[in-house]
């Protein structure tokens, strides 16, 4: 028998003859069925066009006519079978003349070039005669169909699918087939040829059916008591495994309570009671698992961010279809109507409506044209774009968002830890209460009912489910929350600290004056400053460069590797052999530069009315640049909304001059404002607030205030979908709007409301049930119903908002198509 190494090396060496012939037949058949006719579009007149070649095969004709019928612009679409022409009458859009004809061409192009359903199959694990495959780009039903099709291949013994994890396991004869051939056949298969596959019986359903059969046998007493007892013992084996596992880990959990309850029932001859308990526990587990499945499906419907394929433009002008994860920075790609953008990039040419709802929560599509940025997973509506790739694969914004949502449980709430601790802590007292009740009443039913009634299962479901729902719904609104604990801190925050530049003000300052000192020319000072700031991304640096460009200045290149950037203070660079420094007055003075020669006139000209940058050349003052910042139109409204309930204190921290900071503070009504702060000073103030016992939310752009964002209980970035924001902040407002800050705080508040509601649905019924059980007024069967019923109701209540939105999104998608 071949070893695993020999088997894998055999895969690398190539194919075997017989299987080669058989599988080539499958692939040729699939390719032939997927190859549509040659299609051409001709404009006849405004509002009329002809499609030639659609009637050459029935499948293509159905696809073309079906697509045309779904378009709201189409008035009439008819087919002349004799000529093979499809005549289309449509309403022309006034804003984009010719857009519909372009959309038709795009559709026919993709119909001719693209596989009907792009999907990917990869080997995740291989052994001789057995391979586990990972399938991407297919829904649960299609994964089952693909497995059913794989089972029909020669040499395949069995193919089983796990739709929940998009996995297919295939067992085959290695003498007839190898993994490479199998993989190639699956990738080349045509979805329309896959057989319908009934959903396989799930393990949970099988266990529930067995439990029900045992229960029925116990109720009707169709077998001797020892046989029924053995049957109940078998149904409780999964429970016993979980309970013993927890004991081996030195933990007392609710599984141990349930196991003891079943054991006591069997020991006292109450077989029917034990059977009913295990049956109800099984039904409860099944319903919980089904609700989790529905939640996962809802998340996948709401956050469809994975794009598998792209159209890459080759150097010879032709396009080729490639996997999206094979794209690299600098590639030129084409995105047609109805397609998803496969990578983050910049538009080179073309105009199109682009829907970014899945990423930023924007309800309306936006027009994107040359120079605009587009994000992976956004959808092109009307039009077509050529895009230069900036980030691809796992580096795109969409990939990072998915990674964060997939790791939602990695940072659980503090409340969840407390609840888990309490739930585990009451296990021992529950045993004690059950024992005391037995000693007092000498009735087995009472302690059994008490043991069944626990709090742990429900509370462990409610808290993470509520957090996951809030994180997913927030992401749909363009708010990325990196963990459940940050939802909790948003709800509890009593102090909100704002940075000024780019946060409360618009991120595009404007230079209004350049004032040189004696012996310098204003244009020369501006050109040198722009050169020093050439590689800086701060909004003020961008303003200096924009002003130099507007003045038509030729900005020299700084010497590579000679820049020195001091966070929050300024930058020095070597320009044309001179050392040019641009920064705050405080930093310039710390370098020993005498600013007195600027004169009182210069000081008065810039004090209080504009913010300033000071410029030195070779250690001597050369001039000063004045710039203004415009407050965001929503800043005052957002600050007042945060203060409305009187619970939150608003603090403004800035590196700007005291006069300018005081002016902004007065206009916005903040409680405290501190000026002339360096980034480390802002971090010190945040640390001081936390030492006072305050829960601090820091709002900034993630650049100069990164230390303060890191030290705050929750750091919030308005930088949008940028690398620095995704890395440094706990909460990212992808649209870059302060209004979304209120939505983020509301998400935290709603999460705690859902958690407390869910905990009430679990704790109150079980507490009442425990009292009634101790008094002998609640039989074990009723206790099991109360316990499992409260858990299921609480779980569904926590997931209800997510399921509602998923249904709404599904209805919207079906209407659109």
Residue 314 is given by DSSP the state P
For residue 694, is pLDDT > 90? Answer: yes
Domain CATH number, residue 66? 3.30.1360
Residues 29 and 134 placed together within one structural domain of the fold: yes
Grade residue 651 by pLDDT with cuts at 50, 70 and 90.
very high
Neighbours of 349 (CB within 10 A): 13
CB 345 within 8 A of CB 368: no
Please indicate, yes or no, if residue 342 is contained in any of the structural domains: no
Burial code (b: 16+ CB inside 10 Å, e: under 16) for 318-345 equals ebeeeebbebeeebbbbbbbebbbbbbb
For all residues of the chain together, what is the average pLDDT?
A: 75
Please indicate, yes or no, if residue 260 is contained in any of the structural domains: no
How many angstroms separate the most distant Cα atoms in the chain? 111
Residues 40 and 27 placed together within one structural domain of the fold: no
Grade residue 232 by pLDDT with cuts at 50, 70 and 90.
confident
Residues 608 and 734 placed together within one structural domain of the fold: no
Grade residue 270 by pLDDT with cuts at 50, 70 and 90.
confident
Burial code (b: 16+ CB inside 10 Å, e: under 16) for 608-646 equals eebbbbbbbbeeebbbbbbbebeebebbeebbebbbeee
| Whether the model pTM is above 0.85 | no
Is residue 504 classed as helix, strand or coil in its secondary structure? helix
For residue 704, is pLDDT > 70? Answer: no
Residue 489 is given by DSSP the state H
Residues 107 and 171 placed together within one structural domain of the fold: no
Taking the C-alpha atoms of residue 779 and residue 190, their distance in angstroms, rounded to an integer, is 58
Please indicate, yes or no, if residue 387 is contained in any of the structural domains: no
pLDDT on residue 209: 62
CA angle 620/621/624 to nearest 5° reads: 160
Final residue of a structural domain among 173, 193, 213: 193
Nearby residues of 343 by Cβ (< 8 Å), 6 or more positions away: 310, 324, 327, 331, 333, 376, 387, 389, 390, 391, 392, 393, 396
Characterise 664 by phi-psi region: left (phi > 0), alpha (psi -120 to 50), beta (else): alpha
pLDDT on residue 99: 66
Residues 606 and 728 placed together within one structural domain of the fold: no
Count of residues making up the chain: 817
Nearby residues of 33 by Cβ (< 8 Å), 6 or more positions away: 59, 190, 192, 193
For residue 244, is pLDDT > 70? Answer: yes
pLDDT in tens, 6-52: 322 332 333 333 333 334 434 444 444 444 445 667 666 677 887 87
Is 521 a catalytic site residue? no
Please indicate, yes or no, if residue 12 is contained in any of the structural domains: yes
Q: 749, exposed or middle or buried, with CB in 10 Å at 0-12, 13-18, 19+? A: middle
pLDDT on residue 530: 92
pLDDT on residue 80: 72
Lowest mean pLDDT among 8-17, 34-43, 596-605, 715-724: 8-17
pLDDT on residue 287: 54
The whole-number average pLDDT for the span 729-737 is: 82
pLDDT on residue 151: 86
pLDDT in tens, 368-420: 888 888 888 788 876 788 899 988 887 787 777 666 655 544 455 666 667 76
pLDDT in tens, 130-143: 888 888 767 666 78
pLDDT in tens, 681-691: 888 899 999 99
CB 129 within 8 A of CB 172: yes
pLDDT on residue 410: 47
Domain CATH number, residue 655? 3.40.50.1000
The whole-number average pLDDT for the span 159-170 is: 78
Domain CATH number, residue 536? 3.40.1110.10
pLDDT in tens, 456-506: 667 777 777 788 788 888 877 878 888 778 888 999 999 999 988 778 887
The whole-number average pLDDT for the span 148-163 is: 84
Grade residue 545 by pLDDT with cuts at 50, 70 and 90.
very high
The whole-number average pLDDT for the span 588-606 is: 65
Residues 649 and 743 placed together within one structural domain of the fold: yes
Neighbours of 73 (CB within 10 A): 17
For residue 745, is pLDDT > 90? Answer: yes
CB 654 within 8 A of CB 586: no
Taking the C-alpha atoms of residue 433 and residue 449, their distance in angstroms, rounded to an integer, is 11
The whole-number average pLDDT for the span 226-233 is: 72
Helix (H) or strand (E) holding 168: strand 167-172
pLDDT on residue 597: 60
In the chain, count of helices (H) and strands (E)? 29, 28
Taking the C-alpha atoms of residue 31 and residue 117, their distance in angstroms, rounded to an integer, is 13
For residue 260, is pLDDT > 50? Answer: yes
Please indicate, yes or no, if residue 218 is contained in any of the structural domains: no
φ, ψ of residue 132 in degrees (nearest 5): -105, 125
Residue of 629 and 346 predicted with greater confidence: 346
Tally of structural domains, the chain:
4
Helix (H) or strand (E) holding 321: strand 319-323
Q: Percentage of residues in the chain with pLDDT exceeding 90? A: 10
Q: Which domain holds residue 742?
A: 479-505+633-747
Residues 12 and 130 placed together within one structural domain of the fold: yes
Please indicate, yes or no, if residue 208 is contained in any of the structural domains: no
| CA 295 from centroid of its chain's CA atoms | 14
Which range is most confident: 557-571, 686-700, 789-803? 686-700
Final residue of a structural domain among 724, 747, 770: 747
Residue from 499, 656, 705, 740 carrying the catalytic annotation: 499
Residues 530 and 542 placed together within one structural domain of the fold: yes
The whole-number average pLDDT for the span 777-803 is: 81
Residues 108 and 82 placed together within one structural domain of the fold: yes
Residues 29 and 40 placed together within one structural domain of the fold: no
Final residue of a structural domain among 628, 644, 673: 628
Nearby residues of 599 by Cβ (< 8 Å), 6 or more positions away: none
Q: Percentage of residues in the chain with pLDDT exceeding 70? A: 71
CB < 8 Å & 24+ apart, contacts of 41-50: 41/101, 41/104, 41/105, 41/108, 43/101, 46/92, 47/89, 47/90, 47/91, 47/92, 48/87, 48/88, 48/89, 48/90, 49/88, 49/90, 49/101, 49/104, 50/85, 50/86, 50/87, 50/88
For residue 761, is pLDDT > 50? Answer: yes
Please indicate, yes or no, if residue 265 is contained in any of the structural domains: no
Nearest in space to 54 (alpha carbons), one of 90, 33, 80: 80
pLDDT on residue 497: 94
Grade residue 223 by pLDDT with cuts at 50, 70 and 90.
low
Please indicate, yes or no, if residue 532 is contained in any of the structural domains: yes
Residue of 776 and 258 predicted with greater confidence: 776
Residues 644 and 742 placed together within one structural domain of the fold: yes
Taking the C-alpha atoms of residue 484 and residue 751, their distance in angstroms, rounded to an integer, is 9
Residues 8 and 131 placed together within one structural domain of the fold: yes
Grade residue 719 by pLDDT with cuts at 50, 70 and 90.
low
Residue of 506 and 775 predicted with greater confidence: 775
Residue of 60 and 369 predicted with greater confidence: 369
pLDDT on residue 200: 45
pLDDT on residue 35: 42
Taking the C-alpha atoms of residue 494 and residue 649, their distance in angstroms, rounded to an integer, is 6
Q: 97, exposed or middle or buried, with CB in 10 Å at 0-12, 13-18, 19+? A: exposed
For residue 267, is pLDDT > 80? Answer: no
pLDDT in tens, 181-194: 888 888 777 776 67
Nearby residues of 490 by Cβ (< 8 Å), 6 or more positions away: 481, 697, 714, 731, 744, 745, 747, 748, 749
Which range is most confident: 5-14, 723-732, 799-808? 799-808
Lowest mean pLDDT among 74-83, 210-219, 771-780: 210-219
């Amino acid at each position: 028998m071949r070893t695993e190494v020999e088997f894998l090396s055999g895969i690398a060496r190539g194919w075997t003859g017989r299987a080669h012939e058989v599988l080539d037949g499958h692939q040729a058949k699939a390719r032939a069925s997927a190859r549509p006719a040659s299609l051409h579009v001709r404009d006849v007149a405004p509002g009329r066009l002809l499609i030639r070649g659609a009637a050459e095969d029935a499948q293509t004709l159905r696809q073309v006519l079906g697509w045309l019928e779904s378009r709201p612009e189409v008035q009439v679409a008819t087919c002349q079978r004799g000529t093979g022409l499809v005549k289309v009458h449509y309403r022309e859009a006034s804003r984009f003349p010719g857009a519909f004809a372009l959309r038709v061409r795009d559709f026919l192009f993709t119909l001719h070039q693209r596989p009907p359903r792009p999907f990917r199959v990869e080997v995740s694990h291989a052994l001789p005669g057995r391979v586990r495959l990972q399938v991407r780009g297919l829904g649960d039903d299609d994964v089952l169909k693909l497995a059913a099709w794989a089972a029909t291949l020669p040499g395949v013994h069995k193919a089983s699918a796990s739709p929940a994890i998009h996995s297919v396991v295939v067992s085959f004869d290695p003498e007839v087939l190898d993994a490479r051939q199998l993989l190639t056949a699956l990738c080349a298969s045509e979805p329309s040829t896959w057989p319908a596959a009934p959903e396989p019986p799930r393990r949970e359903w099988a266990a529930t059916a067995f439990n029900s059969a045992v229960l029925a046998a116990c109720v009707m007493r169709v077998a001797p008591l020892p046989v029924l007892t053995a049957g109940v013992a078998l149904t409780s084996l999964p429970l016993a495994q979980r309970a013993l596992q927890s004991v081996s880990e030195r933990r007392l959990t609710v599984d141990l309570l349930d196991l003891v309850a079943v054991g006591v029932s069997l020991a006292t001859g109450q077989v029917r009671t034990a059977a009913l308990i295990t049956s109800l526990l099984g039904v409860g587990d099944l319903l919980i698992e089904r609700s989790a499945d529905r939640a996962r499906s809802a998340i996948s419907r709401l956050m469809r961010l994975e794009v598998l394929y792209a159209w890459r433009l080759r150097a010879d002008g032709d396009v080729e279809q490639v996997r999206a994860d094979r794209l690299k920075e600098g590639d030129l790609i084409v995105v047609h109507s109805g397609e998803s953008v496969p990578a983050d990039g910049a538009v080179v040419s073309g105009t199109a409506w682009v829907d970014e709802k899945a990423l930023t929560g924007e309800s309306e599509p936006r027009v994107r044209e040359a120079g605009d940025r587009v994000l992976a997973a956004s959808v092109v509506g009307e039009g077509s774009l050529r895009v230069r790739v900036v980030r691809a694969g796992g580096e795109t914004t969409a990939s990072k968002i998915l990674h964060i949502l997939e790791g939602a449980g990695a940072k659980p709430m503090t409340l969840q830890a407390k609840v888990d601790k309490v739930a585990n802590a009451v296990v021992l007292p529950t045993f004690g209460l059950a024992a005391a009740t037995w000693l007092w009443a000498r009735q087995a039913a009472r302690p059994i009912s008490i043991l069944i009634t626990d709090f742990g299962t429900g509370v462990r479901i409610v808290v993470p489910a509520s957090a996951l729902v809030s994180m997913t719904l927030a992401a749909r609104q363009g708010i990325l929350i990196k963990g459940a604990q940050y939802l909790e801190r948003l709800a509890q925050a009593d102090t909100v600290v704002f940075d000024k530049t780019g946060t409360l003000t618009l991120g595009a300052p404007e230079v209004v004056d350049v004032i040189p000192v004696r012996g310098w020319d204003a244009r020369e000072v501006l050109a040198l400053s722009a050169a020093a700031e050439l590689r800086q991304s701060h909004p003020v640096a961008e303003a200096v460069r924009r002003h130099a460009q507007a003045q038509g200045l030729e900005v020299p290149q700084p010497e590579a590797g000679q820049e020195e950037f001091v966070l929050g203070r300024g930058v020095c660079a070597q320009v044309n052999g001179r050392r040019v420094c641009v920064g705050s007055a405080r930093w310039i003075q710390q370098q020993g530069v005498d600013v007195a020669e600027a004169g009182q006139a210069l000081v008065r000209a810039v004090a209080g009315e504009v913010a300033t940058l000071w410029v030195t050349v070779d250690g001597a003052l050369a001039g000063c640049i004045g710039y203004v910042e415009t407050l965001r139109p929503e800043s005052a409204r957002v600050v007042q909304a945060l203060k409305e309930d009187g619970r939150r204190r608003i603090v403004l921290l800035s590196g700007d001059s005291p006069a300018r900071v005081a002016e902004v503070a007065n206009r916005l009504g903040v409680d405290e404002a501190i000026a002339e702060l360096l980034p480390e000073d802002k971090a010190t103030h945040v640390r001081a607030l936390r030492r006072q016992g305050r829960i601090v939310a820091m709002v900034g752009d993630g650049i100069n205030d990164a230390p303060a964002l890191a030290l705050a209980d929750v750091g919030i970035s308005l930088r949008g979908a940028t690398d620095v924001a995704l890395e440094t902040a706990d909460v990212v407002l992808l649209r870059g709007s302060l209004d979304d800050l209120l939505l983020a705080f509301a998400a935290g508040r709603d999460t705690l409301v859902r958690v407390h509601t869910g905990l009430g649905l679990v704790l109150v019924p079980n507490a009442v049930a425990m009292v009634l059980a101790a008094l002998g007024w609640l039989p074990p069967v009723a206790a099991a119903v109360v316990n499992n019923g409260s858990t299921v109701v609480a779980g569904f209540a926590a997931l209800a908002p997510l399921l509602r939105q998923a249904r709404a999104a599904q209805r919207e998608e079906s209407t659109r198509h």
